[in-house]
Amino acid sequence: MRFTAWVLGVIVVPIGVSLAGCSGSEHSALHKPGIYTGVKDPLIAKQASPAQQEKLVARFNQVQTDR
């Protein structure tokens, strides 16, 4: 009984875990280089406004004054 438990714990279980990790995932995504296919970022449109740019510059200058 001890030998069977040892064989299961040392040999069979690690082999089973290793093989389970090699299985293909059905959720893998195919990516095209240079093309973003994710969700549109709402901050891009907001960043185009001059008022938002002024806020960002002011915030940047608050932190970067010592450099």
| 21 in a structural domain | no
pLDDT at 52: 92
In a domain, 1, yes or no: no
- Identify whether 52 is part of a domain: yes
- Is residue 53 a contact partner of residue 47, using CB atoms and an 8 Å limit? yes
Instruction: State the Cα–Cα distance between residues 11 and 19, nearest whole angstrom.
Output: 13
29: left (phi over 0), alpha (psi -120 to 50) or beta: beta
pLDDT at position 53 is: 93
Query: Which regions of 1-67 does DSSP assign to beta strands (E)?
Result: none
Query: Quick one: tokens of 67?
Result: 């450099």
**What is the tens place of the pLDDT at every residue in 4-61?**
777 667 776 677 666 666 666 566 677 788 887 778 888 888 888 999 999 999 999 9
Task: For residue 63, give its domain range.
Answer: 39-67
C-alpha radius of gyration, the chain, whole number: 27
Residue 4 inside a domain? The answer is: no
Q: Is residue 6 part of a domain?
A: no
